[in-house]
Amino acid sequence: MKIGICGAGVGGLSAAIGLLALGHDVNVFERAPDIRTTGAGFNLWPNAGRAIYGLGIREPYEDISVQLDRYIELDTEGNELFSTDTSGWPEKYGAAAVGLYRPDLARMLSDATGLENIKFEHDIVSVESLDDKAICHFSNGVCYEADVIIGADGINSKVREQLIGGVTFYPNELYAYRFRSVIDLNDVDIDPAAQTGFYAKEGWLSFIPIGKGKAYWFGSVSGADTFEDFIDFFSSWTKSPIPKVLGSTPRELLVQSPLQDVDGVPYRWTHGRITLMGDAAHPMMPDMAQGASQTFVDAIALRDAFANNDNPDEALVEYETKRREVANAVVKCSQKGLFLGKHNVDPLAIRYQNEIETLDT
C-alpha cells in the first residue's frame, strides 16, 4: 500500500517505522529542512515505552533514556509532600517511566525511519480524499497521490484544519508561560533517578534526569511573564536548589513558551482515505505529560490496524475505533490541572496509574 505521512515529528516518524516494517511504500513529508535538533527534556510513560518496544526500537530507546525510579514532590522548604517508588513499573506495566533529551528522541526516530523515506522542505497546503485514494499538495508544487494520507502535522495541523477546522487556544487561567532549560546534574543536589518537583500554590518547578549527566527543569509561576519574574519568585526558596540553578542558567539556554489551554477534540479522525494522529488528533494540555506518549500509542495502533487489514478503509476504521475514545479520555484528564493547582489533583505518578493505565493505552 502507498501511504503518505504529513509531518516528521514524534507521530509521523513512529507511524512510518511501524508501517515500513509491514512492507508498505511509505513517504514522510516535513516542512522543515531537517530533523528537529532543538528542545529540552522529555518525559515518557510506560504506555509510550510499550508502544516503542512494539515498534522494534527498544534498544536505542533504552540507550537514550533514564529510568525514573521515584517521583518526589516537595514544598518550598524541601519537606516531602509526596513520594512514590516507581522502580517496579517495568515489571508492573511492561516499561519504565523515563526522562530523555528531545533531540536524541528525534534522532532515534529518524534513524529508524531512514532519511531516504523523509522528504524535507515539503510544506502541506492541502489534502483531498477521492474514492480510493488521497492526494496531498505542497507549497513547492509537488503533488503526492497515495492510498492513505496520515495527518501527523502537530497541534496546528493543516490537514486537520482542512478536514474539520483548527483548535482554539485561550489563555491558561493560572500560568501564562512555561520556562525550561537543561543543566548539568552535578550542579544540582537532587536524586539522579527521580522526577523531583517543588510546589507552592502560586508556582512550581520540576527536575527530570535525561541522561549523559544532564537534567531538565521546567516550571511555571502565576503572573511571571519574564525570566526575571520567574527567578524573583523562587529567590526565597533557599532550602531548595532552585535559586542556585536559576541563577546559573545562561539566558541563551533558557526556553520560554506561552502556556495556552486548548480546545477542539475532533468528532472524527478519518475522512475518506485521510486520518489524523498525534496532536492533530488529540490536542491536549501538557499537565498529564501524555501528548507524546499518546502519539506513540497511535503509531502502534496504526501498525496493528494495517497488519490486520488489507483493505485501507477497514484498517482506518479499526485504528480510529481503537484510539479515538481513549485518547479523548486522556485529553479530559489533561484538562484537570496540576498537583496543588486550582483543582488540587493528585500527584502525576498517582494520576498516571489511576487515570491512564486503567484506560486501554
Q: Which residues form the interface with ligand FAD (CB under 6 A)?
A: 6-12, 29-32, 42-44, 122-124, 152-154, 158, 257, 278-280, 286, 289-293, 295
Instruction: Give the residue nearest to ligand FAD (CB).
Output: 9
Q: How far is the CB of 283 from ligand FAD (least distance, A)?
A: 8
Pick 46 or 154: Cβ nearer ligand FAD? 154
Pick 158 or 322: Cβ nearer ligand FAD? 158
CB-count burial class (<10 Å; 0-12, 13-18, 19+) for 320: buried
Q: How far is the CB of 10 from ligand FAD (least distance, A)?
A: 4
Terminal-residue alpha carbon distance, the chain: 27
Pick 9 or 272: Cβ nearer ligand FAD? 9
DSSP 39: -
Q: How far is the CB of 291 from ligand FAD (least distance, A)?
A: 2
Q: How far is the CB of 155 from ligand FAD (least distance, A)?
A: 6
Distance CA 271, CA 159 (A): 11
Pick 236 or 257: Cβ nearer ligand FAD? 257
Pick 289 or 316: Cβ nearer ligand FAD? 289
3: its cell numbers: 501511504
Q: How far is the CB of 250 from ligand FAD (least distance, A)?
A: 19
Beta strand 148-151 with 2-6 is: parallel
Pick 237 or 297: Cβ nearer ligand FAD? 297
Backbone phi and psi for residue 163, each to the nearest 5 degrees, phi listed first: -80, -45
Question: CA 284 → CA 98, 127, 265, 288, 291, distances in Å?
Answer: 20, 24, 9, 9, 7
Q: How far is the CB of 55 from ligand FAD (least distance, A)?
A: 14
Q: How far is the CB of 177 from ligand FAD (least distance, A)?
A: 11
Pick 157 or 237: Cβ nearer ligand FAD? 157
Pick 47 or 237: Cβ nearer ligand FAD? 47
Pick 122 or 351: Cβ nearer ligand FAD? 122
Nearest alpha carbon to residue 150 among 18, 34, 327 = 18
Q: How far is the CB of 236 from ligand FAD (least distance, A)?
A: 27
Q: How far is the CB of 24 from ligand FAD (least distance, A)?
A: 19
Give the amino acid at 358. Answer: T
Distance CA 181, CA 230 (A): 13
CB atoms within 10 A of CB 307: 14
Backbone phi and psi for residue 21, each to the nearest 5 degrees, phi listed first: -65, -25
Q: What is the DSSP secondary-structure string of 120-183?
A: -S--EEEEEE-SS-EEEEETTS-EEEESEEEE---TT-HHHHHHH---EEEE-SS-SEEEEEEE
Sole residue written with cell 507552592: 200
Backbone phi and psi for residue 293, each to the nearest 5 degrees, phi listed first: -60, -45
Beta strand 70-74 with 194-200 is: parallel
